[in-house]
Amino acid sequence: MPHLSGTRRGAATANGRIVRPNRSTNHDHACTPETAPPLAGTDMIDHLELQTRDLDTNLRFYGDVLAPLGYERKVDGAAKGFGNDRDLDFFIVVGEPSAHVHFAFGVASRALVDRIYATAEAAGHRLDRAPALAPHIHPNYYAGYLRDPDGRLIEFVCHQPE
């Protein structure tokens, strides 16, 4: 695996974990409102870490469905980290999976939603709902849904008009 030394947002890895500028790596030190870095201009969700009992199956699933987004495994320590050339923001670790989880990956086009769904189908992954418009959410909401090996609902969504 290649070692990721930084990302677009200035992150680097330390012990298989993402470290961002102005953020403490000492987990015993609580950040106070006075010492917390400003959040303006950052993503609301910085990164996501999922727990699983079946690491290998989840690594294959996420490797397959995130590849069309340019993501690959960048960290191969206790936490397995996925990223692209700008971000390192998705991690998988061994542990007890959470139940009733649903999250979405934003993608740039409806064609890419279709491509990810087709990639998952060809790889034999569990499909949930085929890509379609969801006008009850908003007129351009186009999403396809999969289930990861632990049963979590994984959505790929495009908000752009066709």
144, two tokens: 């396809």
CA distance 162 to 146: 22
Quickly state the pLDDT bin for 162 (edges 50, 70, 90). confident
- Nearest of 113, 84, 81, 96 to residue 150 by alpha carbon: 96
Q: Tokens 């974990």: give the residue.
A: 17
Q: What is the pLDDT of residue 35?
A: 55
Architecture of the domain whose range is 98-162: Roll (3.10)
CA distance 111 to 72: 20
Question: Is the separation of the CB atoms in 157 and 145 below 8 Å?
Answer: no
Q: Is the pLDDT of residue 22 over 90?
A: no
Residue 151's alpha-carbon distances to 54, 58, 99, in angstroms, are: 12, 11, 8
Instruction: Name the residue type at position 18.
Output: I
> pLDDT (tens digit, 9 = 90+) per residue, 99-149?
899 999 999 999 999 999 999 999 999 999 999 999 999 999 999 999 999
The phi and psi torsions of 62 (rounded to 5 degrees) equal: -70, -35
With a CB cutoff of 8 Å and minimum separation 6, the contacts of 126 are: 146, 147, 148, 149
Domain boundaries, the chain: 1-96, 98-162
Q: What is the pLDDT of residue 88?
A: 95
> pLDDT (tens digit, 9 = 90+) per residue, 34-63?
555 555 555 678 899 999 999 999 999 999
